[in-house]
Amino acid sequence: MSAVETETRAPARKRETKAQAVPRFGPLWRLLQPIRGRLIIACVIGAVGASASVVPFIAVANLAESLLSPAADSAGAIWTWGLVAVGALLLRFVCVFIAGGITHYSDTGFQLLIRRRMATWLGRVPLGWFTVRTSGSVKKSVSDDVMSMHHLIAHTALEVIDGLIIPLVTMVYLFSIDWRMSMFVTLPLMVGVVLYGAQVAKLRPRIAEYAEAMSDINGSAVEFVQGISVVKTFGQTGKGYRRFLDAAAHFLDLTGPKTRGTMKASALAETVLAPLTSLVIIVAAGAGLAASGALDPVTVIPFVLLGIGVTAPLTTLWLTATATTEAAEAAERVLDILSTPALEVPEAPKTPTDSTVALEQVTFSYDADRTALEDVSLRLEPGTTTALVGRSGSGKTTIAKLIPRFWDPASGRITIGDVDIREIAPTELYRQVSFVFQDVQLLSTTVRDNIRLARPDASAADVENAARAAQIHDRILELPRGFDSVVGDDALFSGGEAQRVSIARAILADTPVLILDEATAFADPESEALIQDALSALTAGRTLLVIAHRLSTVQGADQIVVVDDGQIVERGRHDALLSEEGLYATLWASHERASTWHPTTRQETEVTR
């Protein structure tokens, strides 16, 4: 991991995949709490319908017996059993319709409720939480994991009821006729249970690993697509999607051996549970018992009609077991997000009196292995520019991101206008502080909505004025629908243009404190000049904190702060720091050498000799 990655990563929980290899169903049960009552009602109705589905087969068996053993009242029995069969079919239809409607309605409400809860909670977690999570992994939790519970709620519950009630009612009826034949009916069922049970024991401990591997595939795919233009520009397509290929190969390594290892057992189980297998066993057993005189041949009829359907639900239960396990895993991941510590919101929030920013003996660690900042104290006066300089990984970005509360310090405090930022309401904090970082994020919505993200009520005139100040207005008007063009659809911006859109957003926010990670570090000369003009409009009269990558851009700063290994080692103006001949002077000398270096070809060198 590079120093920059080390500096900007956020605290993250250690993976617990191996420790929690087998999914727990408690979290799933808790997550379903809002709809548990409706699901229970649906299951009761489903149980009635499942029982009713067996009745027509019983009726047909009794009709067959009546036809083969004619009696005086055979006509009446035929009509009676016929009406019973029709009534049971109607009852089954009504129960399936009502129970299915309840579960699907519950699922729709559940998905809406959970996604709203997650969206609300994600709006409250520290911004730094997102720095170690790919958009693919967050998307998987909010979208895919919630969808993984759809089948469980809408279908699985009723399928389980059918899979349990139908064989149970059938076997109770068959045992009431003849226990010997019933034992032959249950033989394939017991063998199938053993075979499927062995497969479940092998697969369940790896479900968590499968889900984690699929999350890696999602994340790497999104990253590759987002960076495809840069990758192709530099001819590194192979390296660019290497992480995606590695993630896919890892998933294959996990699933391949297990899939191959269970193929034989699955094939054998499906063969044992096939209706034809049951039919052969039942007919053979019935013929043997009837031939020996131990059983009336007519008695075999209900076993032939009902016995072949006893094993079919087990295959459905096997599939629902897999779906239920996946849903349990998904529920754990959803609850993991919902249990992420949110930023503490003060009960009695305070409002800063001015835009003075102060860090007082701030210490911060991303994890137990490394202290990112140690005893940092810094004061930023209103209307002044403070520049943070230092080597990569020294702690500059960490300082900058602590001010808008990407994370809270382990010790010390950060104040704005003599008010601890932890005592400021988040909405008020972001009316005081805005930031423009190098890694620009534009939403997949209109350009207008991207600019007025900080002020949703801003008028069209305010948005256009901000765009003009950011030197991006004319470029937006060139788009097919102007400000109504959608980013990523008919609004495709270069890196410098996207940066100017983000600057327009910050101009519209009009906050008294501005944090700026040098926006021109990767811009071309034309874009750099436009961005510098935009920044001039943005920084006027504000408390400005700049992370400087090019020292020449901060020579005129009111205060230059040199950060090294998480500590402030020097501070002062440009000339004074040079005279001290410390770390700043060393960095400046390196900057000067880099700015005067020009590559020459071997031929040009030989000509100048």
Amino acid at site 41: I
User: What is the predicted pLDDT for the residue at 259?
Assistant: 59
Whole-number Å distance between alpha carbons of 94 and 57: 18
The residue ranges of the chain whose pLDDT is under 70 are 1-25, 69-75, 127-141, 199-266, 322, 368, 518-540, 595-609
**Of the candidates 418, 373, 381, the residue with the CA atom closest to the CA atom of residue 557:** 381
Q: What share of the chain is helix, strand, coil (3-state, %, to 5)?
A: 65, 10, 25
User: What is the predicted pLDDT for the residue at 534?
Assistant: 63
Select from 295, 311, 338 the last residue of a domain: 338
User: What is the predicted pLDDT for the residue at 530?
Assistant: 62
- Order of strands across the sheet with 370-380? 370-380, 357-367, 411-416, 419-420
Whole-number Å distance between alpha carbons of 106 and 112: 10
User: What is the predicted pLDDT for the residue at 43?
Assistant: 92
CB count, 10 Å around CB of 40?
Answer: 11
Helix (H) and strand (E) counts in the chain: 25, 10
Q: Is 494 helix (H, G, I), strand (E, B) or coil?
A: coil
Whole-number Å distance between alpha carbons of 87 and 95: 12
- Please indicate, yes or no, whether residues 382 and 475 belong to a single structural domain of this protein: yes
6 domain-assigned: no
User: What is the predicted pLDDT for the residue at 123?
Assistant: 74
469-526, pLDDT tens digit by residue? 888 888 999 999 999 999 888 888 887 788 888 888 888 888 899 888 765 555 555 6
Q: What is the domain extent for residue 304?
A: 26-338
User: What is the predicted pLDDT for the residue at 591?
Assistant: 77
Confirm if 435 and 547 have CB atoms less than 8 A apart: no
353-402, pLDDT tens digit by residue? 888 999 999 999 887 677 889 999 999 998 888 989 988 888 888 898 89
- Please indicate, yes or no, whether residues 409 and 500 belong to a single structural domain of this protein: yes
Number of domains in the chain: 2
Could you tell me the end-to-end alpha-carbon distance of the chain, in angstroms, rounded to an integer?
44
Select from 303, 338, 373 the last residue of a domain: 338
- Please indicate, yes or no, whether residues 281 and 179 belong to a single structural domain of this protein: yes
- Please indicate, yes or no, whether residues 461 and 325 belong to a single structural domain of this protein: no
Q: Please give the radius of gyration of the chain, using alpha carbons only, rounded to the nearest integer.
A: 35
- Please indicate, yes or no, whether residues 316 and 380 belong to a single structural domain of this protein: no
**What CATH number should be reported for the domain holding residue 384?**
3.40.50.300
**pTM assigned to the model:** 0.60
13 domain-assigned: no
Confirm if 363 and 371 have CB atoms less than 8 A apart: yes
User: What is the predicted pLDDT for the residue at 377?
Assistant: 93
CB count, 10 Å around CB of 194?
Answer: 11
Whole-number Å distance between alpha carbons of 16 and 35: 29
- Please indicate, yes or no, whether residues 64 and 117 belong to a single structural domain of this protein: yes
- CA 139 vs. chain centroid, Å, equals 4
Confirm if 102 and 41 have CB atoms less than 8 A apart: yes
- Please indicate, yes or no, whether residues 278 and 171 belong to a single structural domain of this protein: yes
267 domain-assigned: yes
CB count, 10 Å around CB of 297?
Answer: 12
27-80, pLDDT tens digit by residue? 777 888 888 889 999 999 999 999 999 898 888 888 877 777 655 456 677 788
Residues recorded for the chain: 609
Select from 308, 338, 368 the last residue of a domain: 338
Amino acid at site 49: G
Spatial neighbors of 324 by CB under 8 A, at least 6 apart, are 25, 152, 156
Residue ranges with strand state E in 199-349: none
Confirm if 109 and 35 have CB atoms less than 8 A apart: yes
User: What is the predicted pLDDT for the residue at 536?
Assistant: 66
User: What is the predicted pLDDT for the residue at 388?
Assistant: 92
Whole-number Å distance between alpha carbons of 223 and 135: 8
